[in-house]
Structure 1
């Protein structure tokens, strides 16, 4: 029983450096500069396709919609583009601008 207890303590101590490194990771990411948001009114298909969840077809659909209907008034207007819903908009939050 004593051996089991010692093994458990040693195992927990081995995990300690990993948990402190993980805690420090959030501090490092806060200090990193954030990438600039992509303008949905000015970006071309190549730039839009780099966004998570947006491939070449959706990027082209965004540009086509913009050309047919004019500039987007808000980022949420992207939901009018076929294939872009609430979940994708949530994923893109903070990565888009007008």
Structure 2
């Protein structure tokens, strides 16, 4: 009786482990999906890092000099100096 029990237990254990491999939390499909999500998140992080670097440079420029303030006032607000004429060209 015990001679038959060992192979049955081993086969049952093999079936459970094989089921976990294909359908469980650490399954092949789930791991590949998580790897894809990780790569997508790395791309988003890289884009956010670039945006942060640009903003940091802009903040540093704003703190250090007035040229960027004048440039922003001209481009975003349409401000002009005394004795200047503003000409806007529409595209």
Q: Would you tell me which structure has more strand in proportion to its own residues?
A: 1
**Higher gyration radius (CA):** 2
* Greater relative CO, 1 or 2 (CA 8 Å, sep 6+): 1
- After TM superposition, is the score higher than 0.5? no
TM-score with structure 1 setting the length: 0.38
Q: Would you tell me which structure has more helix in proportion to its own residues?
A: 2
TM-score with structure 2 setting the length: 0.40
